[in-house]
Amino acid sequence: MGVQGRSMATRIAQRRERLYVDGEWLETEDVLSVSDLAEGGAFAQVAAAGPAEARAALAAAHESKPTLRETTVVEHATWCESIAERLRERKEELTEVIVREAGKPISSARGEVEQAAERFDRAAEEARTIVSNGEYREGSTAGHEGWQAIVKHEPIGAVLCITPYNYPLATTALQVAPAIAAGNSVLLKPASKTPISSAILADIIADVDGIPDGAFNFVPGEASEIGDILAGDDRINAIAMTGSSGAGKHVARESGMVNLHMELGGNAPAVVFDDADLTDVAGNCAKGSFKYAGQRCSAISRVLAHESVHDDLVDILGGQMDVWQAGDLFDENTAFGPLISVEQADWVEELVDDAVEKGAEIVRGGERRAPEGVPDELADQFFEPTLLANVPHDARIVDEEQFGPIAAITTFEDEAEALEIANGSDLALDAAVFTSDYKRAMRMAERIDAGAVRINGAPSHGLGDIPFGGNKDSGIGREGLDASIHAMMRKKSIVL
C-alpha cells in the first residue's frame, strides 16, 4: 500500500497501489495515473485491471458465496464495525487523498471520512435489525388452512459496486457497507479518476479478521476495458452504481437478470414561491448550487422563482456569493476547488454559453478563472461561481445535468407552470420547494416528479437514514443503509 503518516500540506513521493483479488495483492503492467488537483501533476498510480483480472475477481466473488452463506449477521456486523474503526484511524491519510484526487476542500474531505466510517457502523446496526425481524405467516386461502411458514432474509450473492468520483469514499461506503453487512461478496470498481481512497479502503478490509478470501475484490481499471466484462457476467447478482444517466443505461443494457440499484444524474429544481423567506432561500440555493463546485447529484441546478420575486432573489443571492471562492484546498476556509477535469469545465461553459445566447443574464461569474497560485495545468479546470438571471425555459441548463457551480434562475407564473418546468427534465432525483404555505408545500411535493423533495431546504441525502434515489433517468431503486441492505438481500419462504 501507499505511504502513510505525513504532514497534510506537503506531498511526499508518489504512492503506488495494487489490485486486490481473491485475497492477493496484484500488480499489472497497465496503471491508472491519478492527478493531484491540489498541487498539479500526478500524486499516485494504481494498477489497472484488465480482462484477465476482472474475470479472476468474478470467479473469486462467485466461489466465496457458499462460504459467506455459512457466516452470521454477528460476523458481518463485526466486520463493518472493524472497518469503521480503521477508517477513523487513517482519517488524516484519507483526508489528504480525497483533497488531492477529488479536488475537495480539506474541511469537506475530513467530513467525508467520518461519514464513511459512520455508514459502516450504521450498516452493522441495520443488518442486525433486519435479520431479527423475520416473518411468520399462516395460510389464509382455501386449501391452505393450517399452512405455516417463516420468511427469512439471505444474501443475494455477488454485488458489483461501481462508484463515482465526487464522493470517492462516502458513496463507496454507502454501497460496500450494506453489501458486506448483508453477507455478500463484493467487487469494487471505483471511478478511474479517484481510485486511491478506495485502495485504502481495500487495504483496511483485507486486514479485517474473518472475511474470507474472494469475499472482497478491488478492481480499478478503465470502464472501456473491464466495465462490460464485470456488468455482463451471469455470476453477478446485484449491481450498485452511482454515476451519470448515460453510464447507468449502458450498464443496464449489459447486465443480465440482476438487481439494479442505481442512483444516477440529477437536475434538482428549487421552486420558490412569493411567500418564501428570500434570505433563507438564497442561503440554501447558494449552498445547494456551489458546494463542491456543484459536482453533486443533489445540487440545486435550477432555481424556479415566482415572477414577482425573481429580481429580489437575484439581488440577495448575488450578495451572498462572495464567500463562495476557490482557493488552496488545504486551507480550512476554502469553499471549493477545481472541477474534476478540463472536459467537465468545457461542459459547464457550454451550458452557460447556451443560456446566455438564448437570453440569460450573467449577474456574477461566468468565466473560467483560477485563484492565484494555482499551477498552470489546473487553471483551466476552475469555473467561477456563476449566477444567471432570467434564464429562458428553453435553455439547456434548465433540463440537463450541469455538475458545475451555477445558480440558474428562471421564472414561473403559477403552480401549474412551475410543475411543468420542474417535471420537464428527463432527470428526477431531487427537488426543493420554498413556501410558507403548508398545504401548497405538500401539494407541490406530491406532484413534483422526483425521488425526494425537501421543503424549505436544499436537497441532501445525509448518511442514508432516509431512502433516496431517482425517477425517470435518475435511477432505479432507492439507496440508504436500510434500503440498500434490503436491496442486497433476498427473501426465502420456508413452509413448515
Residues taking part in catalysis: 263, 297
> Quick one: DSSP state of residue 26?
E
223-231 vs 51-63: helix axis angle to the nearest 10? 30
CA torsion sign for 146, 151, 157, 159 is positive
**Cα–Cα distances in Å, from 324 out to 337, 406, 454?**
10, 11, 23
Distance CA 417, CA 323 (A): 33
Distance CA 346, CA 158 (A): 38
First to last CA, the chain: 51
CA torsion sign for 190, 223, 264, 346 is positive
> Quick one: DSSP state of residue 141?
S
Q: How many residues does the chain have?
A: 496
Region for residue 352 given its phi and psi (left: phi exceeds 0; alpha: psi -120 to 50; beta: otherwise):
alpha
| Helix ranges restricted to H, 22-90 | 51-63, 65-69, 73-89
Q: Which of 150, 20, 126, 16 has its CA nearest to residue 77?
A: 126
22: which residues sit within 8 A by CB, 6+ positions away? 56, 57, 59, 60, 213, 214, 217
Across 184-298, where does the E strand assignment appear? Answer: 185-189, 216-218, 238-242, 259-263, 268-272
With H, G, I as helix, E, B as strand and everything else as coil, classify residue 407: strand
Distance CA 101, CA 201 (A): 15
Identity of the residue numbered 335: A
**Cα–Cα distances in Å, from 420 out to 265, 417, 449, 452?**
20, 5, 10, 17
Strands 300-306 and 406-412: parallel
Identity of the residue numbered 40: G
